[in-house]
Amino acid sequence: MSRASEVVPFSICFVCAGNICRSPMAEIVFLSRVEQAGLSRWVTATSAGIGDWHVGERADQRTLDALAARGYDGSMHRAKQFDENWFPNLDLVVALDRTHLRSLQHSAPTASDQTKVSLLMSFDDSADRPWDVPDPYYSNAQTFDKVLGMIERASLALFRQLEPAIRQGALR
């Protein structure tokens, strides 16, 4: 394959506190949309946590259960911590709440990298402000299901916003 025809995928990282609840949901849901649209070659997504509390662990069982109930497979997820050195290789860094947003913007090495950081719920026009996806960790299975619903709506809105540009790039 010649260098001119190499695909450089659009790269996204979803970020929450520990990378075992919200951000894995967002990664898995978003990648499902990408796969369904046949754009896996042109988009990559991952997730990470601000903290290192759960590095190497599977997603919370309640996360896995909520995902499975809606047809998603989160079994391969292993938590990792966000590294500011990833910024140059990312096109978009999606925070799940304002605390993560501030932390990511603060850790961004450049002003350009700061502009890559957005809140997931800001893509969903129907979402109420303040646009935080609540952390279900200290809650019950119903809260995990509610959070997953929020993430599905916002991920679809994000995907719909990005899809035209990705398709245009895929046609080149």
- DSSP collapsed to 3 states, 25-89: HHHHHHHHHHHHCCCCCCEEEEEEECCCCCCCCCCCHHHHHHHHHCCCCCCCCCCCECCHHHHHH
State the DSSP code for 172. Answer: -
Clarify whether 73 is annotated catalytic: no
pLDDT at 1 over 50: no
Find the catalytic residue in 13, 21, 22, 60. Answer: 22
Mean pLDDT, all residues of the chain: 93
Q: Which 3-state string (H, E, C) describes 87-153?
A: HHHCCEEEECCHHHHHHHHHHCCCHHHHCCEEEHHHHCCCCCCCCCCCCCCCCCHHHHHHHHHHHHH
pLDDT digits (tens, 9 = 90+) for 41-72: 999 999 999 999 999 999 999 999 999 999 99
Domain that holds residue 101: 7-167
State the DSSP code for 9. Answer: -
The position carrying tokens 């957005």 is 118
Within a domain: 161: yes
How many distinct structural domains can be found in the chain?
A: 1
Q: What percent of the chain has pLDDT over 90?
A: 87
Clarify whether 16 is annotated catalytic: yes
Within a domain: 1: no
Q: What is the mean pLDDT of residues 96-116?
A: 97
Tell me the pLDDT band of 2, cut-offs 50, 70 and 90. very low
Within a domain: 74: yes
Bigger pLDDT: 3 vs 36: 36
Find the catalytic residue in 16, 21, 124, 153. Answer: 16
Q: Closest Cα to residue 121, out of 110, 113, 132?
A: 132
pLDDT of residue 4: 47
Contacts of residue 37, Cβ cutoff 8 Å, sequence gap at least 6: 159, 163
Q: Report the CATH number that the domain containing residue 136 is assigned in CATH.
A: 3.40.50.2300
Clarify whether 135 is annotated catalytic: yes
* Two tokens, residue 112: 């350009």
Q: What is the mean pLDDT of residues 134-160?
A: 97
pLDDT of residue 92: 98
Q: How far is CA 47 from the centre of its chain?
A: 6
pLDDT of residue 128: 77
Find the catalytic residue in 65, 91, 135, 145. Answer: 135
pLDDT of residue 8: 86
Within a domain: 2: no
Within a domain: 172: no
pLDDT of residue 172: 55
Within a domain: 48: yes
38: left (phi over 0), alpha (psi -120 to 50) or beta: left
